[in-house]
Structure formats: C-alpha cells, structure tokens
C-alpha cells in the first residue's frame, strides 16, 4: 500500500470557514426553477406557493447558506420589473441567453419566499449587460428600502411588507464573455461596476458587492481583465469573482481528477493579482474572492445542441453525474477550504436539474453522485481550517505536471470539539495508508469514517436506481497513541470525524 503523512499543529490556523463557502446557484435556465423548485400542479407541491416539497427537502440536506439568483447569463438581459406584481400582468419574454421563453410566473418575491422555506439567503445579481446603474439602484430600493418610496411601496403593494434586506449583490455576470448580452471591455466594466457599486452603497451601505473576474482561467484575457477591472473598482467592491467548470470529454480520468490542482493554481493567481492591485493603490483593504460558479459540466453539451428553441423550461444542461465527477467535486471542495483565508463565498453551479446535485422528474426528486461530498463537507466542514503539510504519493498530469494522488484538508470545530479530515484518493488502483500525528488533540477519538466509492468510475444515480453511488460508514481508521491511521481506498472520497469523548 502507498503511504502518505499529514502534518499539522492545532495552533496554526489558516482561517475560519465562512459558511457562504457552501453556497449554490439557481438560474432561470432549463428546468432549474420551473419543474425544479416550482411546479404548482405537482403532487409534491405546496398548495399555496407551488414549491416542490421533495426538492426543498433535498436542498435543506445540502445546508446551503446562500443561493445566487437569477443568473448567470440570464441576468444580462433581464428587466427585473417583469418578475414582480400580479402574475397575470407579467410579460412573456424571448429570453436571449438560452433561446427560450421566460414566462415570469416565478420571480423575485417568490424567490425570497422560497429562500425562507429552504433556510437560505439570496445572493442577488443585477443586470449590467443591457441595463445599468439606474435599474440596479431601483431594484435595491425595491428590495431593501423600508417603505415610503416608489419602489419600496411597490414591493409592499406586491405583498412583501418587510424589506427583503438582501446583503450580497453581484455586479453583473461574466461581463468579460463575448457570449454575454452587453459584454464589455475590462475598462468599460470596471467603470460601470464602480459607479453602480457607489450608487448602490449610497442607498444601502450595509450591502456587500461582488465584481466579475474572468469567466474561466484558460481565457486569453485572464489576468489582464482582473487587473484592469480592479484598477477601476477596487474601493467600491468587496469580492472579485472566479468561475470555472471542468470536464472529462477525453475520458482520461487521472487527468480529469487533476483539475483540483488547476483550481488551486487559479485561486492563487487571482489572489496574487488582487494583492498587486492592493499594493499599487497603497490600500488597506484586502480583496476577498467569490468563486461563485464552479462544478463539472460537459455531459450535456452534445444533447443541448439538439434542443428546440423558444420553448419554456427545456431539459437544458442536464448533466447526469457519475462517480468520478463526485470525486472531483469532493476535491474541489477541499481546494476551496484550503483557500478559506481568501475565498469567502463559493457557489456550486447549480442547484436543481441544471448541472446540479439534485434532479427532479414528474414522479420523483433524487440525489446525483455529487450531492454527497457537497452535503457532508457543507455540514461538517465548519470551523477553522488548519494549516497542513501533506507528503503524498504523486502522479504526472500532462497539463499540470506533478500532482498529489491525495487531496486533504483538516477542519477544527473548536466549539463543537470536533476535528474533521476530508480526503480524496485519486489513485485508481491502489489504496493509500495515511497517518497524522494528532497528539495535541487530547481526548479525541474517531467517531466515524464515511466513504464514497464505486468500482465503476462511470456509475450514476438515476430515478430508477437512485442509490447506486451512495456513501457508506465503513472506512477503516483508528487513533492509537494520538496518531491517526487510516486506509483511504483507491478512488475514494473520505470524511473522518474525530470528536472529544
């Protein structure tokens, strides 16, 4: 068996985990909203609001503290006013981002109701594509102003007496992308982000703002875009965004699983750019990051090319995730945690039906493979990330060079007296024996070792067989003389939780 060692010290804290690291994303896209979270005629829907209760239960199981809404590319052509008020007056629109018809039957106020039902909070995006400062400040007035103004009174008339009090706002979406409606140069975007941010904070200084970084690391303008945008809006914004999706179209699983190292590099480079801007500006403020779109996305690319246009809620971006996707999602979560000092917000894109951990049909709602690493990490990866040094067996990735077979992170929940190790063994054939000296954690004992593994990397969960890939509590680990030893099976995601007895 290959061997690995993890070194740590309970006093060497990297950072407190911001709970918003476990955010997700709901876009008006495909069947995310319609047939996903909202389907009034469905037997599982609540009678009053049409929210699917089966979906809600699965969403609650993910413990997502924040959900980004309403897009995505969708937001860059949106008139938010279309989405509020009596449903019979709301216009149907040709939605140009995804080539569909948007009925506006579910809108802003319904989303706020849904957030309450799901136990989550909104991360709202404004349209800086086809619109700008004026529409953004009016939307903020509608949402956060108490009453006595045109837009706040409109909200009250629409049935929401109390302000929505939305604290987190995205200044547009992927404005670097030529595919984006109203796409801008870095300078144009930096200026409009600065002005929109400044005006929004005049109305509500308690809000936090996210500016758009590049839509992916491989784009030729990555780096230059970030610098130019921050040169214009560093003082007005609180976070810079990162987006990244990975795929395995070449069917090279080791290469695919190495993508967490690419994500790690992407984050480090954005941190470096932010800090360079901080230095140039002699600023006291440290820019934090919002990794507000991340996931695996490629399974549905071909089928989506055949979709009929101008229909409502088509089966769009419906990736069916397999076991190896769950391994990478687990590794990406570990990577985010390992950057918890700078990444404060992250959104798994997306939440339901559209590249999502939850799928629905007219007869059921079920968990995709990727649901599990997210649900466990979100629930138990809370507290303080400890600095660790890992000695792991390595393998060679053609894109990334030498990468570790093992991704690990250690999270200490001091108040709850728990220590949680998340680990992914990417070796497809060999187990890895891990040891970690934990003598500083006196009185702790292994409570559970959860494992997600499957003989077939391509195994999937479906409506007919929803538990094909599911976690088991049968991991092999022990704490002996204060030293943790564990067997991390070949191709496995693991959570080892120690608690104080």
- What is the contact surface with ligand AHR in residues (CB under 6 A)? 27, 71-73, 173-174, 215, 293, 349-350
Q: Measured from the CB of residue 56, what is the shortest distance to ligand AHR in angstroms? A: 21
Which of 174/427 has CB closer to ligand AHR?
A: 174
**Cβ–Cβ under 8 Å, residues 484 and 477:** yes
Three-state SS at 380: helix
Q: Measured from the CB of residue 188, what is the shortest distance to ligand AHR in angstroms? A: 18
Gap between the Cα atoms of 283 and 356, Å rounded: 39
Alpha helix (H) ranges present in 61-215? Answer: 108-118, 133-144, 150-157, 186-203
Gap between the Cα atoms of 36 and 318, Å rounded: 12
Which of the residues 81, 95, 110, 174 is marked catalytic?
A: 174
Residues near 180 by Cβ (< 8 Å), separated by ≥ 6?
73, 76, 129, 173, 174
Which of 245/395 has CB closer to ligand AHR?
A: 245
Is residue 174 annotated as part of the catalytic site, yes or no? yes
Which of 127/350 has CB closer to ligand AHR?
A: 350
Q: Measured from the CB of residue 219, what is the shortest distance to ligand AHR in angstroms? A: 11
Which of 69/376 has CB closer to ligand AHR?
A: 69
Is residue 293 annotated as part of the catalytic site, yes or no? yes
Q: Measured from the CB of residue 326, what is the shortest distance to ligand AHR in angstroms? A: 19
Q: Where does residue 11 rank: exposed (0-12), middle (13-18), buried (19+ CB within 10 A)?
A: exposed
Q: Measured from the CB of residue 210, what is the shortest distance to ligand AHR in angstroms? A: 13
Cis peptide before 493 (omega within 30 of 0): no
**Angle formed by the axes of helices 259-280 and 224-233, nearest 10°:** 40
Q: Measured from the CB of residue 293, what is the shortest distance to ligand AHR in angstroms? A: 6
Give CA angle at 322 (318, 328), nearest 5°: 105
Which of 95/204 has CB closer to ligand AHR?
A: 95
Gap between the Cα atoms of 101 and 29, Å rounded: 10
Question: With b meaning 16 or more CB within 10 Å and e meaning fewer, what string describes 396-435?
Answer: ebeeeeebbbbbbbbbbbeeeebbbbbbbbbbeeebbebe
Gap between the Cα atoms of 8 and 390, Å rounded: 9
- The DSSP element (H or E) to which 260 belongs, if any, is helix 259-280
**Cβ–Cβ under 8 Å, residues 277 and 231:** yes
Which of 179/310 has CB closer to ligand AHR?
A: 179
Q: Measured from the CB of residue 440, what is the shortest distance to ligand AHR in angstroms? A: 42
- The DSSP element (H or E) to which 256 belongs, if any, is helix 253-257
Which of 297/444 has CB closer to ligand AHR?
A: 297
Residues near 291 by Cβ (< 8 Å), separated by ≥ 6?
241, 242, 243, 244, 267, 336, 343, 345, 346, 347
Residue of this chain nearest to ligand AHR (CB atom): 72
Question: With b meaning 16 or more CB within 10 Å and e meaning fewer, what string describes 321-347?
Answer: bbbbbbbbbbbbbbbbbbbbbbbbbbb
Gap between the Cα atoms of 339 and 393, Å rounded: 22
Which of 125/423 has CB closer to ligand AHR?
A: 125
Show which residues are catalytic: 174, 293
């Amino acid at each position: 068996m290959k061997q690995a060692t993890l070194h740590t010290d309970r006093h060497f804290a990297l950072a407190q985990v911001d709970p918003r690291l476990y955010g997700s994303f709901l876009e008006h896209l495909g069947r995310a909203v319609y047939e996903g979270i909202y389907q009034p005629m469905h037997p599982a829907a609540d009678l009053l609001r049409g929210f699917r209760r089966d979906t809600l239960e699965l969403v609650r199981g993910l413990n997502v503290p924040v959900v980004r809404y309403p897009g995505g590319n969708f937001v860059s052509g949106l008139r938010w006013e279309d989405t509020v008020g009596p449903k019979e007056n709301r216009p149907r629109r040709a939605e140009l981002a995804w080539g569909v018809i948007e009925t506006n039957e579910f809108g802003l106020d319904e989303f706020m109701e849904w957030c309450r039902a799901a136990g989550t909070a909104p991360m709202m995006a404004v349209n800086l594509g086809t619109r700008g400062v004026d529409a953004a400040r009016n939307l903020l007035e509608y949402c956060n102003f108490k009453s006595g103004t045109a837009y706040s009174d409109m909200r009250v008339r629409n049935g929401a007496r109390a302000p929505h009090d939305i604290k987190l706002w995205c200044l547009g979406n992927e404005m670097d992308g030529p595919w984006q409606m109203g796409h801008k140069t870095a300078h144009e975007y930096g200026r409009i982000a600065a002005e929109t941010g400044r005006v929004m904070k005049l109305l509500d200084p308690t809000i936090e703002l996210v500016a758009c970084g590049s839509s992916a690391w491989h784009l030729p303008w990555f780096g230059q875009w970030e610098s130019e945008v921050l040169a214009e809006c560093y003082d007005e914004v609180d976070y810079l965004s990162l987006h990244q999706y990975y795929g395995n179209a070449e069917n090279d699983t080791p290469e695919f699983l190495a993508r967490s190292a690419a994500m790690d590099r992407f984050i480090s480079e954005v941190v470096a750019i932010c800090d360079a801007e901080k230095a140039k500006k002699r600023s006291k403020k440290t820019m934090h990051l919002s990794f507000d779109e991340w996931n695996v996305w490629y399974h549905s690319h071909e089928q989506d090319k055949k979709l009929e246009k101008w229909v409502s809620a088509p089966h769009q971006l419906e990736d069916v995730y397999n076991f190896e996707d769950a391994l990478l999602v687990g590794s990406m979560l570990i990577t985010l945690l390992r950057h918890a000092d700078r990444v404060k917000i992250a959104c798994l894109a997306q939440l339901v039906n559209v590249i999502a951990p939850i799928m629905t049909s007219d007869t059921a709602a079920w968990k995709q493979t990727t649901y599990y690493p997210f649900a466990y990490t979100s629930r138990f990866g809370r507290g303080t990330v400890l600095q660790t040094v890992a000695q792991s067996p390595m393998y060679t990735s053609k894109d990334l060079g030498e990468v570790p077979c093992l991704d690990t992170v250690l999270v200490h929940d001091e108040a709850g007296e728990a220590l949680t190790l998340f680990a992914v063994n990417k070796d497809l054939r060999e187990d890895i024996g891990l040891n970690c000296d934990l003598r500083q954690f006196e009185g702790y004992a292994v409570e559970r070792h959860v494992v997600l593994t499957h003989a077939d990397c391509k195994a999937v969960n479906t409506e007919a067989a929803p538990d094909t890939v599911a976690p088991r509590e049968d991991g092999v680990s022990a704490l002996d003389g204060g030293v943790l030893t564990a067997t991390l099976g070949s191709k496995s995601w693991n959570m080892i939780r120690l608690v104080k007895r």
